[in-house]
């Protein structure tokens, strides 16, 4: 033996975090199936004060950015999401041991991106349905995939700002 401690699978172990991505995709697609099969497009369904379930089809990006473009945005956003997904896989592969929160954040972002990529590739739009409002002010509808991306990005930001052991 060379005296190098066994690390249990090398970088391939980093891909074990993909179970989080798979769970996000499964939950996202299941909830989108449920709302698509039970709600009427653009009809709010009150759940709690300041929260409706409202089925919407988003052909744009975040906050419906470019939703009214001529159709090219579907392929553009699909391409960007696939490139980002590939970059995230590469980042996961290269993570050092002990970077658990970074792995969780990346896996959440990847799962969210893949959930929305599926919609965009198969349907031509992303299904959104979580719709919050305050009086006459509405926050754009979103879905489980969008939530996973937001939580994942927040984890990465917090991890980047939090001092590491041994740092001042």
Residue numbers annotated as active site: 128, 146
- Buried b vs exposed e over 86-110: b needs ≥16 C-beta within 10 Å? eebbebbeebeeebeebbbbbbbbb
Report which DSSP code applies to 140.
P
Q: How far is CA 14 from CA 29, 90, 164, in A?
A: 25, 10, 20
**Which residue carries 């980042």 as its tokens?**
91
Say how far apart CA 115 and CA 28 lie, in whole Å. 6
Exposed / middle / buried, residue 28 (Cβ in 10 Å: 0-12, 13-18, 19+): buried
Entry field: residues in the chain: 168
């Amino acid at each position: 033996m060379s005296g190098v401690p066994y690390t249990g699978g090398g970088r391939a172990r980093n891909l074990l975090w993909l179970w989080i991505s798979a769970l996000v995709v499964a939950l996202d697609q299941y909830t989108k199936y449920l709302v698509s099969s039970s709600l009427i497009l653009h009809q709010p369904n009150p759940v709690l004060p300041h929260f409706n379930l409202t089925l919407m089809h988003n052909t744009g990006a975040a906050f419906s950015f470019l939703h009214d473009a001529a159709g090219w945005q579907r392929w553009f956003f699909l391409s960007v999401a696939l490139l980002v997904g590939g970059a995230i896989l590469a980042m996961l592969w290269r993570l050092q041991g002990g970077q658990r929160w970074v792995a969780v954040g990346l896996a959440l972002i990847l799962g969210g991106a893949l959930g929305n990529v599926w919609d965009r590739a198969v349907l031509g739009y992303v299904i959104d349905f979580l719709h919050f409002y305050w009086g006459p002010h509405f926050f754009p509808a979103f879905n489980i995939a969008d939530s996973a991306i937001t939580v994942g990005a927040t984890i990465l930001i917090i991890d980047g700002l939090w001092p590491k052991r041994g740092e001042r």
